Chains A and B, each alone.
Chain A
Amino acid sequence: MKELVVISGKGGTGKTSLVAAFASLAQNKVLCDADVDAADLHLIMDPQIREQHDFESGHTAIIDLDTCTECGLCRELCQWNAISEAFVVDPIACEGCGVCYYFCPARAVEFPVNTCGKWFISATRFGPMAHASLGIAEENSGKLVSLIRQEGRKLAEQQNADLLLTDGPPGIGCPVIASIGGAAAVLIVAEPTVSGRHDMERVADLAAFFRVPAMVCVNKFDLNPDQAEAIEAFAGRKGIAVVSRIPFDPVFTKAMVEGKTVIEYDGHSEGARAVRALWEKVKERLGIS
């Protein structure tokens, strides 16, 4: 079983639309949405939830004002300025480090575990899917990403699947790091803009840093063929496989509005044909049928 993780650096380059289209094309696979912070793949996959679990991670301090002697030690030690003058903890500022809980001489601090999201195992018209939703303004997205990938992998092994197809998050920070470690390969979806190129270069460096083989695909390449070439030239210099290009085609947005993959919406469109060609190349690189 091979895991392909689709990432981009910059947000909005078309990761999820491409993952959805691949879901239409790939055989014997399990889907995983590792963009837990702003998960969108379910909007196309329409998952029927089979299992639902709470995601518990980290702690938040709560001060019991009846027990608190207002000695002020917690405020002195807190690195996050999370404790007000009235000794009320701001749960958003609280990092869950437990220093106040540990040191409070009056034992007035409680330190319960946070439930910061949910994760699901679902059935979709393209096969099983592991996905999650992080609570708004919650922390530990990296841990939830690791968990959901682990669940996706378990599912794939149970099903004897050839492929775990994972939709990754944008950026290069903690959730992205959690989403690429141990993958067979990442596919970087880049857009041919100064921002897209800049962000692709950073995320390509990240993949190299964690020694994950990378491929790159320029989406909407015809918006700026010079930038597309520059991205591909960068990839060439870094030993990243340039798999293929996708043209700008409004069919991607139209398919999304209908809740369909681009292959389902109009399999003969220019966009769909380009995605098919891309998928053939990706399959070949991954060594799956």
Chain B
Amino acid sequence: MIISIASGKGGTGKTTVATNLAVSLEDDVQLLDCDVEEPNAQLFIQAAIEGVRTITTPVPKVDMDKCSLCGKCGEICQFKAIVVLRDIVLPFPELCHSCGGCVAVCPEKAITETGRELGVIEWGLRDGLEFVHGRLRVGEAMSPPLIRKVREFTRPEALTIIDAPPGTSCPVIASMKGADFVLLVTEPTPFGLHDLKLAVGAVKILGIPCGLVINRADMGDDKVWAYADKENITILMEIPFDRHIAEAYSRGEMLVEVIPEWRQRFKHLYHRVIPLVARKEQPR
């Protein structure tokens, strides 16, 4: 089973929920940090890293000895990543989406593929917990292909917990698509609620059942409860604002370590998710 933890708004507590949930369960669990732009889970999990792999994406390389300057590669590319000039073909690897179109279309077989570094994937263990994260190379624009590579570590027999990035666009979709359940983490503020509505919209487009965790539940206003009620979204957990919790978080300490009874609450949260997954509707 795959549970993605998402939010819309950043800084609502996705990583707190993902990491504490992962360490509270005794099943075969893997935690995949798919917030590859700013991966934070390892700061709390501190897994012993066992492996590192550099991830590249294929980009074109042109052999000008074979090229006839026919212009077909420039014509097929939707991303302006290969430009045909009067006497040379210039690839712009940072714009390339790796669709393979230019390679397939070239009549002279003058285009081969080389790699552009997207970032690295690291994996390791913390007690029985399997941990994987991606780290996007600083300067690299495209995170979805790296996210998809992190997700290749998914073992179908395990419970896979995915820490998703904020927002509702392609990196978030890449982190939620194919999940059995999305746990949305919000805060009861106007910004939190506004972005939660966007996240719920994304989850609905993907046809995945979802539930809600309300963090800093005693700050802000009560509109998120009214919204959850109206939209029939189950509130699975509320975490109060507690300066003691916030300070522990700031030092990289996990909630379940600072206040051990939270371990039981995260287990309970998981047991409340299971029947919601079973009721899953067919994707449209």
Contact = CB atoms under 8 A, between A and B. Distances in A.
B28 interface: no
How many of chain A's residues touch chain B, expressed as a range?
Answer: 35 or more
A3 interface: no
Nearest to A259: B190
Contacts of A11: 9-12, 166
Most buried by B among A10, A93, A134, A209: A10
B202 A170 contact: no
Nearest to A136: B201
B205 interface: yes
Nearest to A192: B250
Contact of A173 (B171, B173, B191, B247): B171
Contact of A139 (B15, B44, B105, B169): B169
A16 B78 CA distance: 34
A39 to B, nearest CB: 8
Given A11-B166, A40-B9, A173 B140 contact: yes
A97 B190 contact: no
A2 to B, nearest CB: 24
A134 B169 contact: yes
Contacts of A176: 37
A10 B10 contact: yes
A194 B99 contact: no
Given A37-B168, A173-B142, 15 more contacts: A12-B11, A13-B11, A38-B167, A38-B168, A59-B78, A102-B105, A137-B173, A139-B170, A172-B38, A173-B143, A173-B171, A174-B142, A198-B38, A223-B246, A257-B190
Interface of B: 8-12, 15, 37-38, 40, 43-44, 76, 78-79, 97-101, 104-105, 136, 138-143, 165-171, 173, 177, 187, 189-191, 194-195, 198, 201-202, 205-206, 219-221, 243, 246-247, 249-252
